[in-house]
Chains A and B, each alone.
Chain A
Amino acid sequence: MELTAEIVVFAVFSIITLTGGVGVALTRNLFRSALMLLVSLFGVAGLFVLLAAPFLAAVQVLIYMGAIAILIIFAVMLTRGMVTARRVMNDQWSVAAVVALFLFAVLAVIFVQVGQGESAVLPLNPTGDPPADGTAALGQALLDPAQYVLPFEVAALLLAGVLSGAIYIARDDEPDEPSQTRG
């Protein structure tokens, strides 16, 4: 295999992603573990760029790094007592190992099949060229009644429900208010 710039960049981002992932699992300090998660997510964003999907990369950075990871870090900072785990708190590691091995096997089968170009699970793009304007196509597919508008709207509804549920749970219960109106 010829060493092109693309392969070098791919290797760099793969190493970033994997280092981050290993770091998340191995670091005892919860805060650093959350930071390693950021590193891993950043590597994935780089891989998206390499796959000519800049929109996905930007969304990856915006949502996963900018929102979800920051929420995790914030939660970690508010729970100072358990930042450094002194002992392994997971009693179910054997079950987790079996599940992880199973997942690894499934992924390995899929990747080997894709590598040989004969996957039934993932239909491959025959030309190998990414679409010219993927972002516009994505937007149209999401709002096209013939395609994904229903799942899109259902997801929006679900998020709205989650949001109001979170507000309901987090709200302070004031004792002097009549409580029978609350479900």
Chain B
Amino acid sequence: MLKEALIQAGMQPGWAAFIDIFLGVLVAASFGMVWVLFGIWVERKMAARVQDRIGPNRVGPWGLIQNIADALKLLTKEVIVPRNADRPVYFAAPILAVVGVILIAAVIPFSPVVIGTDLSIGILYVIAVGAFGVIAVLMAGWGSNNKYALLGAFRVVAHLVSYEVPMVLALLVPVMLAGTMSMQGLVREQHIWYIFAVPVTAFLFFISSQAEVGRAPFDLLEAESELVAGYNIEYSGMVWAMFYLGEFMHAFFVSILFAVLFLGGWSGPGAEQIPFLGIVYLMLKSMLVYFVQIWLRLTVPRVRIDQLLAFNWKFLVPLALANVLLMAFLFKIIPTPDFAGAQAIATNEFAGVAGGIYRLFGPNQIAELPRTGLLLLGNIALVGVTAALLGQAGRRARRQVEALVDETDYTPRAEGAEHTAEAPAAAAR
């Protein structure tokens, strides 16, 4: 709309398009920043409830304005730079950390019409901009000239880069099912939420995206008890707040991505007709995912670095590989749903009860149902095999522990051995 108006006002079409895009970028970028002010309040309140506290309750009703006060405080604080810091690198790192996250917002489909840009390679773009986060942490760790910061930065390579593997393998499955990498296309092709068809994939993506965000139980980059604060130890004031901002936005954006990929994005009754409803649906679904995320964060303790890597390479990656292979195989042998036929039944007035059912649930959804069911069966089989393998590994671990216990004269063997042996298997699950 703006573009046409500018062209009418005598502007060159190229420049008009440029300004149009520029303003769009500004809106998409600010959305995340504004949301964070509210999101942090939600998270603090929830953390307080989990830990049996009240949480922010002084500034404004229910402490709603607390975060604005905090932001003002951070803005006015002095930024202390270490004397031996590599200053250009030191200051570029937090900017890059935020930019890398904001870039994700460009391809999020908020409603049928509201999207920054519907790239044909939407998903690949999201993975690609994830690289900025890794670089930002490396730069922060190096630029600070501090041993703890550098240790935190070293962990990045082991942690973020290896969790990218199961994440990419998990993202392949929805792309395969929808036949497109475009975010809008993924929502439109998702007649039945993919979480029903491929729950294992959804699980893999959820876990690896948690690790990518770097929040508990995967917050090894800034493990307070081991690295003091990790890569951001030398940052203060607003420069530090930018890392914080980036982390919060990232946490929320991966929730949105989960909602888009596995919970049908903006789709819902009436979303096609009233675009605003689409935004409401997407936000509701994302908040649900965000809630699970915070819940996990607040209840699970931090893992050790060796556990983190073993969990990734010995459990997530093999499972993701098996999952992709199995889903590709099933997807090939299951016949494509007859969307046109279903549409015909729904529009046929003489179809009676069948027509009514088809109209009520939507013809595409009914047509998709058999395929979803078969894929779900495949997933259940995969879970069964995985559980059996894990059980076997658990028993093997138990035998080892029992052999150890036998050698010593520690008598109450049965219960003690059982507990220790079950622990690795339970942790892996």
Contacts and interface: CB of A to CB of B under 8 A. Distances in A.
A60 to B, nearest CB: 8
A77 B14 contact: no
Contacts of B157: 70, 74
Interface stretch (B131-139, B205-213, B276-284, B414-422): B131-139
Contacts of A55: 120-121, 124
Given A6-B14, A32-B89, A58 B120 contact: no
A97 interface: no
> SS class of chain B's interface: helix, strand, loop or mixed?
helix
A21 interface: no
A87 B215 CA distance: 44
Contacts of B402: none
Contacts of B15: 4-5
Nearest to A56: B121
Contacts of B181: 135
A122 interface: no
A117 interface: no
Contacts of A74: 138, 154, 157
Interface in A15-34: 29, 31-32
B128 A62 contact: yes
B185 to A, nearest CB: 12
B38 to A, nearest CB: 31
A29 B181 CA distance: 40
Interface residues of A, number: 24
Nearest to B17: A5
Contacts of B129: 61
A50 to B, nearest CB: 12
Nearest to A29: B86
B256 interface: no
A135 B121 contact: yes
A5 B135 contact: no
Nearest to A65: B131
Contacts of B18: 5
Interface string B369-391: 00000000000000000000000
B89 A66 contact: no
Given A5-B18, A32-B89, A77-B142, A66 B134 contact: yes
Interface in B122-181: 124-125, 127-132, 134-135, 138-139, 142, 150, 153-154, 157, 161, 164, 181
A4 B15 CA distance: 7
Interface string A134-150: 01000000000000000
Contact of A54 (B125, B132, B142, B150): B125
A70 B135 contact: yes
Nearest to B161: A70
Contacts of A65: 131-132, 135
A133 interface: yes
Of the listed residues A31, A32, A38, A61, the one surrounded by the most CB atoms of chain B closer than 10 A to its CB is A61
B86 A32 contact: yes
A58 B138 contact: no
A70 B127 CA distance: 15
B12 A4 contact: yes
Contact of B121 (A54, A69, A70): A54
A106 to B, nearest CB: 31
Nearest to A55: B121
Contact of A62 (B124, B135, B154): B124
B119 interface: yes
A65 B136 CA distance: 12
A5 B14 contact: yes
A54 B119 contact: yes
A31 B138 CA distance: 10
A31 B144 CA distance: 13
Nearest to B119: A54
A62 B128 CA distance: 4
28 contacts: A4-B12, A4-B15, A5-B15, A6-B14, A31-B86, A31-B89, A31-B142, A32-B86, A54-B119, A55-B120, A55-B121, A55-B124, A58-B121, A58-B128, A61-B129, A61-B131, A65-B131, A66-B128, A66-B134, A67-B161, A70-B138, A70-B157, A73-B138, A74-B138, A77-B142, A135-B120, A135-B121, A135-B181
Interface of B: 12, 14-15, 17-18, 86, 88-89, 119-121, 124-125, 127-132, 134-135, 138-139, 142, 150, 153-154, 157, 161, 164, 181
Given A59-B128, A77-B154, A135-B121, 9 more contacts: A5-B14, A29-B86, A32-B86, A35-B139, A54-B125, A58-B125, A62-B124, A65-B132, A73-B135
